[in-house]
A and B are shown apart, each in its own frame.
Chain A
Amino acid sequence: MEMILEARGILMVYPNGVVANRGASLEVQKNSIHAVVGENGAGKSTLMKVLFGMLQPQEGEIFFKGRKVQLRSPHEAIRLGIGMVHQHLMLASDLTVAENMVLGVEPRWGQLFLDTRKAQEITERVSKEYGLPVPADRKIKDLPIGVRQRVEIMKALYRNAELLILDEPTSVLTPQEGDVLFATLRQLKEHGKTIIFISHKLKEVKQIADRVTVMRDARVITTKEAGELTEHDIAYLMVGREISFERVPPPASVGETLLSVQGLSYVNEESMRVLNNVSFDVRAGEILGLAGVEGNGQTELVRILTGLLPAASGRITIKGRMVNGLSPRGIRETNTAHIPEDRMEDGAAAEASLQENVIVDRYYKSGFSRGLRLLWSSIFRHTQELIGRFNILAPSPRASVASLSGGNIQKVVVARELSSDPEVIIASQPTRGIDVGSEELVHNLLKEARDRGKAIFLTSADLDEILKLSNRILVIYNGELVVHFPNTAQLTGKDLGPFMLGVQREEAVSGKVRP
C-alpha cells in the first residue's frame, strides 16, 4: 500500500516549554480515511499544524508522496496538495460562499475587479464534481455550521488538495450534521482523496476511519486498522486504563425544588432577545440537563443565574428566596456553586497559584482568614487536602495553575466549586476540552453530589454528556425552550437533534415540575 504522507520523529516544543510532540511518527495510506485520536493535550492538533506548515518542528522529517518536504508555511503545504479544515472555521462571514471559495486566487475582471460570475461558476463546478451541494450566492453568516464546514472542504478541494486534514470537525456539529459530514468524507475518498480526521469521540472513529493512530502524552502510541480495534480498545489505549461509558442510573428519590426560574428573559447590548420566557425548576437530588447548539442563550442563562448578568425580566429563586439582582458573592452565599464554561476566563487565574485559586470564593471566611490577615498555613493544608481528594496532578499547592494540564486545571475548578458543599450546582460545559480520565472523574463527582441531594443544572454542547448524566432534559433553541423530556432512559442524540436545529419544536415548553 502506497503512503501519501510520512512524518518521522517529530519533536515540537512550544516557546513556553510545553513539549507537544515527542518523537511522533505517522504514516498515512493513500486514498484512506485516517483517524488520529487522543485525549486533549495529547498533541494531535500540534502534529496536524506541523503537517500543514503552521508550526516548524525542532526535529523530524516529513515526506509527501515519497519526497522529503520542508513545510515552512501553510502556503507551501497548500501548493503541495495538503489542505486543512480547522476546528474554528476560517471563513469571511460577510462574504458569499463563492467569494470565499476563490479568496486569494480570485478570477479577475480587468485586473481590478472580482469576476463574481466566474466565481459562481467555479463554485458550482466543484460542487458538481464532488457532489457537495452549497448555495453559492449566500453569505457565510446566514448558513448553518455544517454547510460552512462543507465550504471550507470545497475551498481546499478547489486548491487541488489531495490530502485533507480535519481538526475535530464534529465538535461543532449536531449528530445529524455529523452524519452528513461522514457521507461527504466517504464521497471524497471515492474521488481518490486522502483524509486525516482528528477526534476524541470513539463512536465516530469506528464509524468512519480505515486506520487509527492513537496519541498519548505527546507520543504516538500505535497505529492500527480500525477493524482490529473496538471502541473499548481505543479508549484503553488513549487513557491507559479502563473507562466506564455507561449511563448514570436515575436517582432513587427526588426532593423539593431548590432552584426555580420563572419567565426569564434577557436582551443583550445589541438589543437582541437572547432569552425569551425561560422557566424551569431543579429539585434536590436531580440533574436537569440543558441541551442545545452553542450560542443559543445557554451562556447568558448561566451568567444570569450566577449573578454575572442582570436579567431583563423574570424571577429566579433559590431555596424559595428571590435572588434577582444579587451579586455573584450574594448568590454564592445562598450555597450555590458554579462550574463555568470557560475555565481560563472565569474559572481560574492562570498565573496565580493553586492555593490562591481554590480560595477565591471563601478567603474571607473563618478558617481562611482572621480579620484582614490570610491564614496561609491553613489555606496550604486545605489545598493539599483538595489535591488529594480530587486527584489533581500538581507538584504543590504553590504551583501556578498555568503549569497544569487542561484536565487538571478543570479539576482545580471543580474541586473548589464542589468542596464548598453547595446545595445548588450550576455546571456549564464541566468537561469541555479535558481528557477522558478527568471527564470520568468529574461525571462521578456530579453523580455523587446528586445522590447526596444536591440540585444540579447542567448545560453542555456535548450531547453524550447530557444524555449520560441528566434525568430530565430541556432543549434550548434561539433563546427559547423547545422541548422538555421528563424521562431520558430511552432517549438518544437523534431524538434531540431536530429540536437543537430548530426544525421541530413544541409549544409553551417549561421545565417546571408540578408539586
Chain B
Amino acid sequence: MEKFVLRYFNLIRAVIAVVIGIVISVFLIYLVSKDPGFSLQQFLLGPILSRSRFSNVIETASPIILCGLAIAVAFQARQFNVGAEGALYLGAAVGTAFAVSTHMPAFLHIPLVLLVAAGVGAMWGMIPGILKAKWKASELVASLMLNYVAYYLGLYLINFHFRDKQAGYLASYQLPRTAWLAQFIPDTRMHWGILISLAMALLVYLFLYHTTSGYEIRMTGFNEHFARFGGINVFKVVVLCQLILGLLAGIGGMTEVMGIHRRFLWQSQGHPGYGWDGVVVAIIGRNHPLLIIAASFFLAYLRVGGQVLNLMSDVPAEMVTVIQSIIILLITAEAFLSQWRYRIMVRQAARQEVAV
C-alpha cells in the first residue's frame, strides 16, 4: 500500500486536491445558493448533460492546449516567458487582417492564414528571447509588458483598418468562407481546431523528446551551466524556445477566430485569457505535452461548469471564479501533502532496517 502511494504520489495528490477543492466548493455553494443540491449538480455535471455543452468543453480546451504547449516549451528551457497571451492576440489580429484582405481557394487560404498568425506570434515571442540572450533582460518582465503592446497594436489594427462598421458591435470584417475552419458536428460549434491542437501536442512531444533541438531545450532547462559546458549553444536555445512559444500561441488564437467567431471580436470583451490558462495547464501538466492535454480538458471542464452554474443557478459569477481558483491553487501547490510522503518514506526506511 505504502509503496503504491510513493509510486503514484503525484496522481494521488492531484485526485485528493480535486476532492478537497470540490468539498470547499460544496461548502461555498451551500453558503450562497438557495438550492445548493441543484447548483452543485449543474457545476459538476452540467458540462456533460448536453451535447452542445460537452462540445463547449472541447472547443474551450482547444486553444488552451495550444497555449499550454507554448508555455511548456519555454518552461522546459526554464525561460519564464508568459507572452502566450500577447502572441495569441497579435497573431490572431494580423492573421484576421490577412484573411479578410486576400482571396484564394480554401486549401491554400486556411494554411496560409495559420502560417501568418504563427509567423507573427513567433516574431513576437522571439523578442523577449533575444533581449534575454543578448542583454540578460528578464523574459518574465519583457513578455508581461509586451502583452500590453500586443494588445493595443492588435486593437489598433482591427479597429482602425479592419473594423466592420455594419456589424453593429465592435468586430472585424467577417473572414471569407475560404478561411473558415468547418464546424463538423451539427448543433455544436465543434471545429477542426481541436484536431490541430491534438496534432500539435503530438508534434511538440516528438520535438521535445525525440529531436536534437528538443534535447538542447530540455538540457538547458535542467541545468544551463551543464548545457553550456557540454557545448550546447544556449543563446540559440533561449531564442528558439520562445520563438516556438509565440508560434504555437499564434496558431491557438487564429484557430479560435477561424473556427468559432469567424471574426476578430476580442476588442470588446478584452483579453481572451487563453494565454494565462496556458500557464496554468503547463504547471498542472508539468510541462509535458500529453499531460497538458488532460490538464486542458480539466480546466475547460471547470470553465464550462462555471458558465453553466452561472447561467442556471443563483450562484453569482464571482463565486464561480473563486471556486475555480481554489481548485487550481490546490493542484498546483507543490508541497501539498509532502509531509505525508516523507513520513511514509521514513517508515519504509525503518522497515528495511529490520529486514537487513
Which residues on A sit within 8 Å (CB–CB) of B215? 356, 359, 363, 374
Asked if B101 is an interface residue, CB under 8 A from chain A, the answer is no
CB distance from A366 to the nearest CB of B (A): 12
A22 touches B223 (CB 8 A): no
Q: In the complex, what distance in Å separates the CA atom of A202 from the CA atom of B169?
A: 85
Tell yes or no: B342 within 8 A of A by CB. Answer: yes
Which of B225, B227, B349, B352 gathers most chain A CB within 10 Å?
A: B349
Cβ-neighbour of A372 out of B211, B226, B352 (below 8 A): B211
Give chain B residues whose Cβ lies under 8 Å from the Cβ of A364. Answer: 212
Looking at the complex, which of A28-36, A134-142, A274-282, A343-351 is the stretch in contact with chain B?
A343-351
Given A58-B350, A328-B230: A369 touches B212 (CB 8 Å cut-off):
yes
Which residues of the other chain, A, contact B219 by a CB distance below 8 angstroms?
A: 349, 352, 356, 360
Complex Cα spacing A112 to B213, Å: 61
CA distance A304 to B219 in the complex (A): 22
Cβ contacts A to B, 19 pairs, < 8 Å: A13-B342, A15-B338, A22-B353, A327-B231, A345-B226, A347-B229, A348-B223, A348-B226, A349-B222, A350-B223, A352-B218, A352-B222, A352-B223, A360-B219, A360-B230, A360-B231, A361-B230, A364-B212, A374-B210
B11 is an interface residue with CB less than 8 A from chain A: no
A331 nearest CB neighbor, chain B only? B231
The 8 Å CB contact of B353, one of A11, A332, A356, A360, is A11
A359 contact set on B, CB distance < 8 A: 215
Residues 243-280 of A at the B interface (beta carbon under 8 Å): none
Contact partners of B349 in chain A: CB under 8 A: 11, 13, 17, 19, 22
Confirm or deny: B167 has a beta carbon within 8 angstroms of a beta carbon on chain A.
no
- On chain A, the residues within 8 Å of B225 by CB distance are 345-346
Q: A124 CA to B226 CA in the complex, in Å?
A: 48
For chain B, the count of residues having a C-beta within 8 Å of the partner chain is 26
**CB-defined contacts of A329 to chain B, threshold 8 Å:** 231-233
B195 close to chain A: CB less than 8 A: no
Tell whether B49 is near chain A: CB-to-CB under 8 Å.
no
Report yes or no: A328 in contact with B228, Cβ–Cβ below 8 A: yes
| CA of A359 to CA of B226, assembled, Å | 12
Q: Which of A306, A360, A361, A373 sits near B211, CB closer than 8 Å?
A: A373
The B216-265 residues at the A interface (CB cut-off 8 A) are: 218-219, 222-223, 225-233
Name the B residues within 8 Å of A351 (CB-CB).
Answer: 222
Interface centre among B215, B229, B232 (most CB of A within 10 A): B229
Which residue on chain A has the smallest CB distance to residue B339?
A15
A349's partner among B211, B213, B226, B352 (CB-CB below 8 A) is B226
- Say yes or no: B212 contacts A328, CB within 8 Å: no
Nearest 3 pairs of A and B residues by beta carbon: A360-B230, A329-B231, A349-B222
Q: Which of B212, B223, B345 contacts A363 (CB 8 A)?
A: B212
Per-position 1/0 for B181-212, Cβ under 8 A of A: 00000000000000000000000000000111
Extra A-B contacts (6), CB below 8 Å, given A352-B223, A360-B226, A374-B210: A15-B338, A58-B350, A340-B229, A345-B225, A352-B222, A356-B215
Does B346 reach chain A (CB closer than 8 Å)?
Answer: yes
Q: Determine whether the beta carbon of B228 is less than 8 Å from that of A59.
A: no
Chain B residues whose C-beta falls within 8 Å of the C-beta of A17 in the assembled complex: 345, 349
The docked-state distance in angstroms from the alpha carbon of A372 to that of B229 is 21
Q: Are A338 and B229 in contact (CB under 8 A)?
A: yes
Known A-B contacts A15-B338, A360-B226, A360-B230; the reply to A372 vs B346 at CB < 8 A is no
List of B residues within 8 angstroms of A22 by Cβ:
349, 353
Is the CB of A399 closer than 8 A to any CB of chain B? no
Chain B residue, CB-CB nearest to A370: B212
A486 at the interface (CB under 8 A from B): no
Taking the nearest CB of chain B, how far is it from the CB of A384, in angstroms?
19
> How far, in whole Å, are A317 and B215 apart by their CA atoms in the complex?
31
**Shortest distance between the CB of A420 and any CB in chain B (Å):** 11
Q: Which residue of chain B lies nearest to A9 when distances are taken between CB atoms in the complex? A: B353
A327 contacts across to B, CB distance below 8 A? 231, 233
B190 to chain A: closest CB distance in Å?
33
What's the least CB distance linking B67 to chain A, in Å?
A: 25
Query: Roughly how many angstroms separate A154 CA and B215 CA in the complex, as a whole number?
Result: 52
B232 touches A360 (CB 8 A): yes
Q: Say yes or no: B346 contacts A58, CB within 8 Å.
A: yes
Distance in angstroms from B334 CB to nearest chain A CB is 13
Contacts of B211 in A (CB 8 A): 372-374
Give the distance to chain B from A329, nearest Cβ to Cβ, in Å.
Answer: 3
For A350, what are the chain B residues with a Cβ–Cβ distance below 8 Å? 222-223
A338 to B226, CA, bound (A): 12
Tell me which of B210, B227, B338, B345 contacts A360 (CB under 8 A).
B227
CB-based nearest B residue for A359: B215
Contact in complex: B210, A328 (CB < 8 Å): no
Q: Out of A13, A19, A346, A374, which one reaches B229, CB within 8 Å?
A: A346
Interchain CB contact under 8 A, A11 and B350: yes
Taking the complex as formed, is A498 at the interface, i.e. its CB lies under 8 A from any CB of chain B? no
Say yes or no: A373 contacts B210, CB within 8 Å.
yes
Q: Which of A15, A59, A361, A369 contacts B231 (CB 8 A)?
A: A361
Query: What are the interface flags for B308-323 relative to A under an 8 Å C-beta threshold, 1 for contact and 0 otherwise?
Result: 0000000000000000
B213: A residues at CB distance < 8 A? 372
Contact mask for chain A residues 19-59; partner B; CB cutoff 8 A; 1 contact, 0 none: 10011000000000000000000000000000000000011
Residues of A within 8 A of B223 (CB): 345, 348-350, 352
Q: Is there a chain B Cβ closer than 8 Å to A308's Cβ?
A: yes
**Contact flag A308-B212 (CB < 8 Å), given A17-B345, A349-B219, A356-B219:** no
Q: A13-B345, A363-B215 are in contact. Are A328 and B229 (CB under 8 A)?
A: yes
Q: Which residues in window 350-380 of A have CB below 8 A to B?
A: 350-352, 356, 359-361, 363-364, 369, 372-374, 376
- With A13-B346, A363-B215 in contact, do A23 and B353 touch (Cβ < 8 Å)? yes
Please give the distance in Å from B132's CB to the nearest CB on chain A.
Answer: 19
In angstroms, Cα B352 to Cα A19, docked, is 10
Residue of B nearest to A306 (CB): B229
